[in-house]
Structure 1
């Protein structure tokens, strides 16, 4: 039986060899771009999107580098033109600490420049410090202001018995205490043929939307005769390098904006003949407790999926 394929969703169809997964675990696309024309604005975008640890490291390196560079310029102008230096410190450290005070506009009033050349360097460094801190402030503020959803997906998707047949399932939950509303889910299956061409199929979901999202959400695709997964075995999924692509959309009440999340499950991340354990329950006070640590837990089923 031939199932109706979906048009290319933007990830390409024709390739000359097998490819890696389409969507990485962090939601990024597994695509490397060559021949890009780099601009200064691209650096700003890069700093906005890298991890906090990497951003902090780059800022520290920039801070040390720029002050070391200007310290060398002050040495070239003559350290004797810096009034108020510490006699016990090496000339480079005196110049470096003066550069730090100039770059950050601290100005304790102890160190002071003297001479035309030294004052010209001070003028340049003060300007660079003003521009640099403006850029850093913009980057830090944009990282706080940018809507960023933190959705936790189950480590594995499963294929389990369901209503006399079987279904593809996976779970997700909001890791934050913020409120997500009007959730929508779209799921697509990608397979590759022997010519390395990709084919895409939309998977019909039992429930593709939620009004509220305070708990976990089990997204389910019933595998019937109209499903591209009908009568498919784990070995066939491996041969076709199958990948389940997930797109989640919702409204974040904290930011007042729509947010998106992407994820995928490859053929080797799909478990068969198991079911998810309960992830939430009520305590003695009647409050509902959601245990995110249990989102990934599964257990064998007594009857294997037919």
Structure 2
């Protein structure tokens, strides 16, 4: 007998439909201006080099054989450590998204995947993504470096400055740069002077790629207050959301509750989801990321990663 009121009876691949009472908190993730990674940011960072991933473990593209780029490493709050308390952080690497990659070399990375049980390979829209779960020891380990490239030009993110590779429009703005837009900002000069101490002397955006890797944009993690969707899996259709009580941000009820107030983030963990198109069938244990959070190209869209199922989707 198939229950017509139970979507998992018709679609058994959808294991999450009810609210999970163990998940009680959502968090907003915001980047601050780049710092020398010798001063290791305590909650993680975007861009730069990852911790604990040396050249032997560094993932390479299955389509062109080039090293994937480190996008971000973040130390997760305890409720989002879905692999167990031992694994406290995640590092995400991404394939080439900004330039035409070199001719295909069809590298087989199956052996690397099998040798590293805490590595998860995800492919979406012809791009490779590789996520590593890190222990506390790995998160505190020396910064890794990509493998050497022999017989071919290296990837653009390694051979060019961030400005030349990403382009000005696609890079995050420091507080000082934002302050500079408003000459009447109170304390603007003082803010600029304080931030200049932590920034590379030549400016991170203009550093050669190899030097830029020594700097990262620290991640600040802030508890989100008052989000009614914490622990509730989002679904595309209203009748599916009735099982968990999830309220879509732009539904009539969501607008009455003012859920659009939760839309201002570089990334966030859990709570109200803001997909550009459809809602993925993900668990409530997810991270939603903007393009600026690690330098992605989602066609002006956003992406979500399910930290339970190790799946990634994005839409523009």
TM-score, L = length of structure 2: 0.22
Name which structure has the greater RCO, CA cutoff 8 Å, separation 6+: 2
> Which has the higher Rg, Structure 1 or Structure 2?
1
Larger strand proportion of the pair: 1
